Structure 1
Amino acid sequence: MVRRRLGDAGPGGRGAGRSGGGYDEAQAQAGAVLRGERKPTNPLTAGQVHVAFKCHNGKHIKAESNEELRASSSVIKEPEKFEVEHSGSESIYLKSHTGKYLTVDKNGDVHASGVSASDGSVFQVLLQENGLVALRSHCGFVAAEANGRIRANRSLIGSWELFQVKDRSRRSRTEHPGHELPEPDEQDDAPAFFDAFCQVEGILTAEERYAKTHHDRTAVLFDKRVRSRRRDHMEWSFKHFYMEKEYPPSFRGCVSAWDITRVEMDADGESDTPKAEDTEDAVRPRTRSGSDGSQVVSFDGLEAGRCHWKKILQEDLTDAVRIIAAFGVPAASAADADEAAWQRLLAAQAGCKQKTAHVLVMCSSGLCKAIGPIGVDCSPWPPALDAVFAERFAGLGAGSIRLKFGALPGEAYDVDKDPVFLAWKRAAGPTARGEDWVLQHADSRLAEFEAARSDYERRRLSEQVSTAKKQLEMAREHGLPVILQLPAQDDAERCMAELLVAVFGEASQHPILLSGFNGRPKCAAAFLRSFPGMMVGFNGLLTHSKHKQSLGEVAFDVPLDRFVLESLGPQYPPADSAAGSARGSYSHPAHVLLVAEELARVKQRLPRDILRAAFSNTAKLFNLSI
């Protein structure tokens, strides 16, 4: 049985204990290259004529029309190419696409403004052991700063001062007799990629959430951007997002999940979209029906976003980019899985055989491709309610708790969002002192909120196993892939294994994605052996130093036809990028490329091979015609 295998698998996973191989030995061999035992060649002194520079933030240096240089481009076109002229054995001149040389002024600013080569245009090339290069001018090392500005005033080499050099030289016909090679285009350089799992709604609201919960400079910047998007009526536009982020042309789409207990529709199938008059300055409460029949009040505009799944899915992107929908009841919402939620999920899977408004809206376009995320959580149960609270707060759904206290069960209580406090403040007038109410009532309100949350959590833990099993049975009946998400808990992994065997049977070929896996390597190995249709999803966690050893072992052992790449957005941005180290950072589908680079390093393959395999595996897993 899978449960026995999960418990008895070797301590090192599939690769452990084998002679002459394994993850640790492979990484040691890779380290030998970095230690100089097989030193890479200098790409800027090896004969390349045209090159592009990729910076630490994943962007390429671009020569702007005003002659400034910025690390802002995701693609390589003419403005991103620089001609190399040699000034010495390890020194070069760089010329932009306008024919002007890159020069460094006395302040360290770099401009593509030199009419001829000069002392200010010389860059010394310093090759690093990892194959990246640093460029030193007469003022200091060249750096791509956090805002994308290119300056040459640094005294030391750090991540900002390192660049990956990409060859963009056009070979002549004499080098290849009888053949004229076209210039490599970006599509050939970057194979198509697909984000196997993210939450588009969470990505589109990530900046707004940060702005409302922080008070630093990043929050101010995010708030300005949120207001600008609202003013342009673009706040729920994924098209606007990926154009703003300059997604590469190789991006083909993403699978995005929606919590079916939060999806709301009117009788006519129309979503509860905010009216045009609700501008950025009109932050006022909105009321709508919750999944449990209660009235949910939104004070920050975020709750209304859960009604916009339809707008996001129906958005006109491009012929090559698609958002594929997955609907499900995650473990965190098991207590809200009422009959209405199950009917919506059943309608989402049933296709258009049933001519109901829900089915026509959700499946007529064929976008409902998977059920998930599904999971179980084996965290300790909170204490039961005291008798004084049991009658008042037992059985409340998430919407009702939000209505009563201004916060969902998974959120922290905030008195400024408490409807009781807001009602008192409106009635008392502008001269009322909020501190007086807080001193008198805040502690008791917090205790009531904790009681309601405790009861909700107990019901969630009680219902999650049956909720997960019911969704697995639906997936089996309708032939839809399953997306699993499990916490790093041995009991949760064993429980899910038992559910999978009970519903699908051992050795089932049913398509399953083990998304965001962060458990023991031996558990991943046992899952893959027992379920041939299962694939493991790798995301930004693979780049985090805390998880590199355990996830690296999983990644090393997973075959090339048994994995997919995912951003898991907006959670866990890659750690080894500017996006993953800056305040307010969040993950989104473009970060799949960084995950692919790390996975390629672990598996000792080329990134393009990883991307191609992941794209093929994703299409197979979700039965996509892309």
Structure 2
Amino acid sequence: MVRRRLSDAGCGGRGAGRGSRGGYDEVQPGSAPRGSRGDRRPSNPLAAGQVKHVALKCHNGKHIKTESNEELRASSSVIKEPEKFEVEHCESESIFLKSHMGKYLTVDKNGDVRASGAIASDASAFQVVAQENGLVALRSHCGFLAAEANGRIRANRTLVGSWEMFEVKDRSGRSKGRPSEEPPQPDEEDDAHIAFFDAFCQVEAVLTAEERYAKTHHDRTSVLFEKRVQARRRDRVEWSLKHFIEEKEYSRSFRGCLSAWDITRVEMEADGEPDMPAADVEDGDVLRPRARSGSDCSEVASFDGLEAGRCHWRKILSEELPYSARIVPAFGIPASAAADADETAWEHLFRACTLGLCKAIGPVGVDCRAPPSTLDEALVERFGGLSAKSIREKFGAAPGQAYDVSKDPAFLAWKKVAGPTTRAETWVLQHADRRLAEFDAARSDYERRRLTAQVSTAKRQLQMAKEHGLPLIVQLPPQDDAERCMAELLVAVFGETSAHPILLSGFHGRPKCAAAFLRSFPGMMVGFSGLLTHSKHKPTLGEVAFDVPLNRFVLESLGPQYPPADSTVAGGLRGNYSHPAHVLEVAEELARVKQLSANDILQAALANTTKLLNIIL
């Protein structure tokens, strides 16, 4: 049984014994990785001495880019003008590199490199040192040029390792005078035959991530995001995935994105068609609010700017996207919404499946954390049984959020009647403690009901996936009990050794559990996200990634959560969020772990995702 296999698997998983660390071995500096990447011999255009423009690709798969402040960063996945450098040869068999701004790359005495030289000098000269693997090293008067792990470019290294070697790409035939209105071209050499598919991403949440950050923070990042939000609203494309893809400069090889919605928050009309707002964005920049009935027969608050995207999921599905991007919808009742899974929600999910709207069921999961402490029984009796929406309407905060007096509807109603000159502390001193106790009681009761209902909710969705022949998306917290519970549910519904398509999405638990799942369910695949790049998860996820076969994994962003570590996409670290473009960074990290080329990883991931979701490209 799976329970026995999960508990009896060795502590090191299948990767134990390969090395002293029991996991995967990193590629040593200067050594060629195994697989197709090691067999590939990149050409060296600088050796011929005839190229005029080049791009330099670093060990992390990014190209060196000249920033507007003249700094250099290894941060770009595409080759445009900032990634190109004009090559000038001198008599000493060295070269000078000139950026697109007309300045020479210059190395100061500390090894810092900037595109700030007005004229060519000794500080701007680089000696080209060819490597056996076809890459090159560039030696300045201070040392070898290196791309550091944080993307910074410096020239102070005494030895040549992986981060001191660069792939030189000839861009002499590419234009410097391409019209500005033409969309940016991806790296044709690498991306022309590569396609990637984000296996799991909550599109609506990604579309609202910047706006939510801008409304809840007060820093430079929030100012930047607010400007982007205002620009989208001005252009009337605030909920447009097409605009989002174009803004993030997706590669032309992008094939699609699986988007998931919580079925408990999708309203259906009597005829079975998905509900739409009474007034669309055609009448103004802001959606017209309207009331609707919730699953608990209570009145649900009108849509606001942050939640309006849920009205537009059908628009997102039907939108004509650039290139061959595609949205594949998945519906489900996640563990976090198990307490709201009434018969109305199940009817919605059944209709989505029978109407062909639902291409996969999920995310499905269980959470085996300890239940919250028991609170005052009188308060629980008064405020128990409320849905998540009802709690938010009554107290201004959802069960998973902290209580905030300034958002409490009771306080807002009092303030409106009392007038703006009334001191808020008056109401806070009299009522805040009581309201907090009532909110804690309602939240505690909701959490207990959620924990009780989630197993039956998960099992019922597994049965629906089996009956309708739909792929299943499973998400689990890193808990031993949750992994064992889900294994028992899968065996009970599908049977052991079932080939039903299942995605173990965003797995970050024990390697031995992933190995046992893969052995017990031949149709299961493991999803790798930006968590693979986080140092906290590398020891465990690295072992899982090393062991998983090439035909048993997919790539996913888990957007908007879990962006890759040290990501330079979408505004850097502060205020960052994960979106489908990050799949390429996940592929590069997985390629490093498995010691293959990113091309091999992307091709395998595309084939696996289309097989898992039964997609015909």
TM range (shorter): 0.7 to 0.9
1 CA distance for matches of 2:214 and 2:70? 34
SS of residue matched to 2:266: coil
1:575 and 2:579 aligned: no
2:276: which partner in 1? Answer: 271
Pairwise mapping of residues 234-383 of structure 1 onto structure 2 (< 5 A)? Answer: 234-267=237-270, 269-272=274-277, 276=281, 287-297=291-301, 301-351=305-355, 363=357, 368-383=358-373
Measured at CA, do residues 219 and 141 of structure 1 come closer, stay the same or move farther in structure 2, by a change above 3 Å? Answer: farther
Partner of 1:221: 224
Q: Distance in 2 between matches of 1:16 and 1:318?
A: 45
Q: Tell me the equivalent position of 2:501.
A: 511
Partners in 2 of 1:526 and 1:143 — Cα distance?
Answer: 39
Q: Does 1:423 align with 2:428?
A: no
Question: Is the counterpart of residue 31 in structure 1 residue 28 in structure 2?
Answer: yes
1:178 alignment partner in structure 2: none
Q: What amino acid is aligned across from residue 233 of structure 2 in structure 1?
A: R
The alpha-carbon deviation at position 385 of structure 1 amounts to 4.5
Determine helix, strand or coil for the equivalent of 1:254: strand
Q: 2:263·2:332 contact (CA, 8 Å) conserved in 1?
A: yes
2:98 touches 2:115 (CA, 8 Å); kept in 1?
Answer: no
Alignment of 1:140-179 (within 5 A): 165-169=166-170
Q: In structure 2, what is the equivalent of residue 176 of structure 1? A: none
SS of structure 1 residue aligned to 2:96: strand
Report Cα offsets for 1:306-327 as digits up to 9, x if no partner: 2222222122103511011100
Distance in 2, matches of 1:327 and 1:471, equals 10
- Structure 1 CA distance for aligned equivalents of residues 367 and 344 of structure 2: 23
Structure 1, 575-584 or 564-573: larger mean CA deviation: 575-584
Quote the offset at 1:112 in angstroms.
10
Distance 2:130 2:450 in 1: 56
C-alpha deviation, 1:445, in angstroms = 1.1
Alpha-carbon separation, structure 2, partners of 1:283 and 1:427? 27
Structure 1 equivalent of residue 597 of structure 2: 606
**Is 1:438 matched up with 2:428?**
yes
Q: Distance in 2 between matches of 1:135 and 1:323?
A: 47
User: Following TM superposition, by how much is the alpha carbon of 1:504 offset from its aligned partner in structure 2, in angstroms?
Assistant: 0.3
Aligned pairs, how many? Answer: 587
Deviation track 1:147-177 (CA, whole Å, cap 9, x = no partner) reads: x9x9x999999xxxx79844333899xxxxx
Is 1:535 aligned to 2:539, yes or no?
no
Distance 2:8 2:69 in 1: 64
CA distance in 1, matches of 2:501, 2:6: 20
Correspondence 1:196 to 2:199: yes
CA distance in 1, matches of 2:364, 2:239: 25
* Whole-Å separation in 2 of the counterparts to 1:430 and 1:170: 64
Secondary structure of 1:246's counterpart equals: coil
Q: Structure 1 142/514 Cα, relative in aligned 2: closer, same or farther at 3 Å?
A: closer
For residue 403 of structure 1, what is the aligned residue in structure 2? 393
C-alpha contact 1:63 1:112 (8 A) present in aligned 2: no
AA aligned opposite 1:110: A
Alignment-mate amino acid for residue 320 of structure 2: D
Give the C-alpha shift of residue 233 in structure 1.
2.4
Q: Secondary structure at the match of 1:308?
A: helix
Contact 1:264 1:306 in 2 (8 A): no
Report the AA paired with residue 438 of structure 2: E
Equivalent AA in structure 2 for residue 614 of structure 1: A
Using a 3 Å threshold, how does the CA distance of structure 1 residues 246 and 342 change in structure 2: closer, same or farther?
A: same
Cα distance in 2, alignment partners of residues 45 and 501 from structure 1? 59
After superposition, the C-alpha distances for 1:539-572 in whole angstroms (9 at most, x for unaligned) are 1111111111111011111001001111111111
Q: Which runs of 5+ in 2 are unaligned?
A: 174-185
Paired amino acid for 2:252: P
> Following the alignment from structure 2 to structure 1, what is the Cα–Cα distance between the partners of residues 587 and 20?
17
Query: Hey, what does 2:468 align to over in structure 1?
Result: 478
Question: Aligned with 1:167: secondary structure?
Answer: strand
Contact between 2:262 and 2:334, CA under 8 Å: does it hold in 1? yes
- Structure 1 residue aligned with 2:183: none
- Superposed CA deviations along residues 408-458 of structure 1, whole A, max 9, x for unmatched, are 111222222211111111111121222222222122111111111111111
Change over 3 Å in CA distance of 1:155–1:171 after alignment to 2? closer
Q: Which runs of 5 or more residues in structure 1 are unaligned?
A: 173-182, 353-362
Task: Tell me which residue corresponds to 1:13.
Answer: 13
Hey, what's the Cα distance between the residues in 1 that align with 2:71 and 2:121? 18
* 1:549 alignment partner in structure 2: 539
CA contact (8 A) 2:279 2:287 kept: no
The answer to whether the Cα contact below 8 Å between 1:296 and 1:402 also exists between their aligned partners in 2 is: no
1:588 aligns with 2:579: yes
* Residue 458 (structure 1) aligned with residue 448 (structure 2): yes
Give the SS at the match of 1:168: strand
Deviation string for 1:81-127 (max 9, x for gaps)?
A: 434344477842235689x674669998637987xx66675456799
Task: Check conservation: 1:297, 1:406, Cα contact below 8 A.
Answer: no
Cα separation, 2, equivalents of 1:446 and 1:399: 17
TM-score (norm 2): 0.83
Are the equivalent residues in 2 in contact too, given 1:331–1:374 (CA < 8 A)? yes
Q: Are the counterparts in 1 of residues 98 and 105 from structure 2 also a CA contact under 8 Å?
A: no
Residue 396 of structure 1, CA deviation: 0.5
Change (3 A) 1:132 1:120: closer
State whether structure 2 residue 439 is matched by structure 1 residue 449: yes
Residues 573, 588 of structure 1: 8 Å contact kept: yes
Amino acid at match of 2:471: P
CA root-mean-square deviation: 4.3
- What's the offset of the Cα at 1:350? 1.1
Q: 2:487, 2:253 → 1: CA distance?
A: 36
Alpha-carbon spacing, 1:184–1:326, altered in 2? closer, same or farther (3 Å): closer
Task: Provide the rounded CA distance (Å) in 1 between the counterparts of 2:399 and 2:31.
Answer: 48
Match in the other structure for 1:625: 616
Equivalent-residue separation in structure 1 for 2:221 and 2:448 (angstroms): 37
Which whole-Å CA distance do the structure 1 matches of 2:279 and 2:138 have between them?
A: 50
Q: Decide whether aligned partners of structure 1 residues 134 and 382 sit closer, same or farther in structure 2, where only a CA change above 3 A counts.
A: farther
Please tell me whether the aligned partners of residues 69 and 112 of structure 1 are also in contact (alpha carbons under 8 angstroms): no
Amino acid in the other structure paired with 1:9:
A
Aligned to 2:176: none
Q: Which amino acid aligns with 1:30?
A: V
- The question of whether the paired residues in 2 share the 8 Å contact of 1:23 and 1:556 is answered with no
- Greater shift in the superposed pair: 101-110 or 294-303: 101-110
Counterpart residue identity of residue 462, structure 1: T
1:26-64 CA-to-partner distances (Å, cap 9, x unmatched) read 84462364799x9x9996865584531357997645689
Question: Is the 8 Å Cα contact of residues 54 and 172 (structure 2) preserved in structure 1?
Answer: no
Give the Å deviation of 1:297: 2.6
